Every structure is written in C-alpha cells, then in structure tokens.
Amino acid sequence: MGKKIARIIGRVLLVVLVTIVMLVGTLFIMIKRICSDSAPAARNLFISTVLESGQMKFLASWFCTDAQINEVINANKMESMDSDIDTSLINISTDTDTQTVDNKGEVEQFDGNGIRMVEISGRSFFGKMLIIKDPSQVKVGTTYPWGDYGKELHEIVSGAGAIAGVNGGLYVSSGNRGGSPLGIVVQDGKITYNSPSALSGLYLIGLNKDNLLVVKDIDGMSAADFESYVNEAGIRDAVAFQEESSDSNNHFVPLIINNEARVLKGQGSGANPRTAIGQRVDGAILLLVTDGRGASGHLGATASDLISVMQEYGAVNAANLDGGSSSTMVYNGGYEMTSVTFYYQNSSWKLPTAFVVMPK
C-alpha cells in the first residue's frame, strides 16, 4: 500500500515538474520572440515595463541587447517639467457643503467623511480613485521611528486614525522589509527623514500648510538646504519619489503642472501598477491606484494613461508616486486595491510611508 502511494505521489510530482519545465520553456521562447526585430512594439513594451520593476530588471538584459534597451529608453523619454506650481490656480472652498459636479456633469456624491471612490477602466488596467473634497484631511502616515520593518498599508492607516490611504514614497523594498524610506519624509511639519542627496533626481511630493499640492525638484539639496526649504515653503506632509530614466532606473514624477500635461515620447513609460496623486481647481485631492503585471489580465498603466485619467478628473497638478508591487489602496477598513505580488495579493508590501485620509 505504501509503495503504491509513493508511486502515485512520484507520478504527480513528475507531471508537475514537466508542466513547470514546459511553461518556463514556453515563456522563454515567447520572450525571445518578443525581443526579436519581428515584434518591435511588443519588445518596446516589454523592455520599458521590466525596467521599472524592482526585481525583474535583469530580464531586459537577459533577452535584449544593450542597443535595443537604449533605443527603447530614448523612444519613451519625457520632456522635463521645470515650472513651479502656480498656487493661484487652486481655489479651496471653505464651504465643504458646496455641491460639485463630476467629469460627466453630474452632482458628486461623497460619503460622510467627504470621500468619493470611483472605478476606472483603461485599455490595459483597472483602477480606483479616491476623491477627497477637503485637502486638509490628506496627510502622510508613517511607521516613524524607523525600524528594520515597515507595516502593511492597513496598519499605517489604522495607526494614524485614518479611514483611507494609498502607498506613499520611495523606500528600501528589498526582502519586503520596508522599514526605511528614501530621500525625505515630512509629517505634520516635522522632518522625520532627511537625506535628499542620497539619490539623484528626487522630487518632494506633498502638501503645504495651505493644503496645496506641492511637486518640487529637490535634486542636489543638502539636508540643511532641505530643512530651510521646508520651513520657508511651509511644507506640512511630504514624501519623495525619483525622476530618472536609464537602464538601471526608470522612474518619473511630474504628470501635470499648472494644467499643462507633460510632453511624452511614445507612451512615456512601460505599463505597470501605479499610484498617483493630484489636486483639482477646487482643492480636492485625487488618489489613484491601478493594477497591472498580469492581475486580471492587465499589463498596467503607462505615464500617458495616468495623465489622461488625471486630466479627465480635473487635476490642475498631478504626480506619480511609488508603484509596482507597492501600489495599494485601503478604504473603510478594507483593501480596494491590493499588491500584484501573489503572496501579498490580499494585503500589501511592508511600507514606511503612506498618504492617509483622516476622518472629517
């Protein structure tokens, strides 16, 4: 009896092994074909997408030549955006009971905390957006004081006494420890992480004491420079993300500044899960999270997609945040958008920062 069971188990394992080998072999052949000159559009999307990932960048150099990689990077570059935000374009209403209309001309319906959630379907992604009528409710939640490990998004949200949130800025994600942010963190006007010169191309993304969205190039600032800037600009809550387009990093930050969309070459980027933040003319904050990387058959959103969605929902200013497996949304105690990583598909990666929405 025992030998019979052992034979059955052995056969099952053999079938599983053969199936895995066949799947890997098929995937290898498919990627090699994608990277051939016979499928340039697929090759370009493949390269630009994997270059934005934290763990899968090596696939580009495994299957494609340096010349092909550089060609794709150059074809999807974005024009720089050097304009400072014109705060006069935002007119925050002090009457939070004033009715507003959505992009379809219908009166917007908010919950008791002044939050509205909408679902968004794109060509290669599905997403959800939180629209927060009062921008003063949006803050940065953190795990400060920093330790080796961060927390899942729902823990950061609940720990801050908030009712909603999305993942925040750049952080050390290796090993899913998530305990250390990168660049800068400002929380309630206090700088809790100050290393703006550690990485090139850093941007501050946050809100000032007038509840206006700030997207500021802080590349090259020293810690002392940054402290002075925070005090002078009245920054109350902020995180950092990186603007760099190369074969080692492919990140972007500004999407829309002063109603002007960023000029793109091609789609501007690959297709990946995304998190983005924007602000409308009435001051309402837009928090967008999309899926991708195979979730529900979706590749993800490109830079062009993010700009289109933010424009559709009236963003005067908008910026890209950390994305990929980090892209997550919590609302009213549950996950609305979860990590695309299989193990964390019903939770989130461990994070050090998030944009959270406080109750009204």
pLDDT tens digits for range 91-115: 997 766 667 877 777 788 999 999 9
Q: Percent of the chain scored above 70 by pLDDT?
A: 75
Cis? peptide before 145, omega within 30° of 0: yes
Lowest-pLDDT range of 42-51, 77-86, 286-295, 299-308: 42-51
Q: Provide the pLDDT for residue 254.
A: 96
Tokens representing residue 59 in the block = 């696939």
**What is 294-308 written as a DSSP string?**
TGGG---B-HHHHHH
d(CA 11, CA 55): 34
Mean of the per-residue pLDDT values of the chain: 85
Higher local confidence (pLDDT), 173 or 321: 321
| 320, two tokens | 């890209």
Burial (CB count within 10 angstroms: exposed 0-12, middle 13-18, buried 19+), residue 344: middle
| 123 in Cβ contact with 299 (< 8 Å) | no
Q: Tell me the per-residue pLDDT of 287-307, one tens digit each, with 9 for 90 and over.
A: 999 998 777 778 889 999 999
Predicted local confidence at residue 245, as pLDDT: 63
Q: What's the predicted TM-score (pTM) here?
A: 0.84
State CA 197 to chain mean position distance. 22
Q: Are 278 and 256 in contact (CB under 8 A)?
A: yes
Burial grade of 173 (CB within 10 A; 0-12, 13-18, 19 or more): buried
CA distance 259 to 265: 19
Give the pLDDT of residue 248: 52
**pLDDT higher at 30 or 70:** 70
Task: Write down the pLDDT at residue 247.
Answer: 53
Q: Which residues contact 152 (CB under 8 A, 6 or more apart)?
A: 347, 348, 349, 350, 351
Q: Model confidence at 34, in pLDDT bands (50, 70, 90)?
A: low
What's the whole-number mean pLDDT along residues 147-157?
A: 96
pLDDT of residue 54: 58
Percentage of residues in the chain having pLDDT higher than 90: 57
What local confidence, expressed as pLDDT, does residue 130 receive?
98
Kindly state the average pLDDT of the residues 243-267.
82
Give the distance, in angstroms, between the CA of residue 53 and the centroid of all CA atoms in the same chain: 12
Query: Reduced to 3 states, what is the DSSP secondary structure of residue 310?
Result: helix
C-alpha distances out from residue 288 to 33, 193, 332, Å: 34, 25, 16
Question: What average pLDDT does this structure show over 76-97?
Answer: 83
Sorted by sequence, the CB contacts under 8 Å of residue 74 that are 6+ apart come out as 265
Q: What's residue 292's pLDDT?
A: 84
Contacts of 98 (CB under 8 A, 6+ apart): none
Q: What is the pLDDT of residue 233?
A: 97
- 3-state SS track over 313-325: CCEEEEEECCCHH
Given a cut of 60, whether residue 28 has pLDDT beyond it is no
- pLDDT bin (cut points 50, 70, 90) of residue 356 is very high
Do residues 290 and 274 make contact, with C-beta atoms less than 8 angstroms apart? yes
Over 60: is that where the pLDDT of 117 sits?
A: yes
Record the tokens describing residue 251, joined without a space.
Answer: 């990140």
Mean pLDDT of 342-355: 82
Token digits of residue 138: 């949006």
- Per-residue pLDDT band for 211 (boundaries 50, 70, 90) equals very high
Q: Are 349 and 174 in contact (CB under 8 A)?
A: no
Instruction: Could you list the beta-strand ranges (E) of the chain.
Output: 115-121, 126-132, 138-142, 164-167, 184-187, 190-194, 202-208, 213-217, 235-242, 244-245, 250-251, 254-257, 260-261, 275-280, 285-290, 315-320, 329-331, 334-337, 353-357
Residue 298: what pLDDT?
Answer: 83
pLDDT score of 48: 64
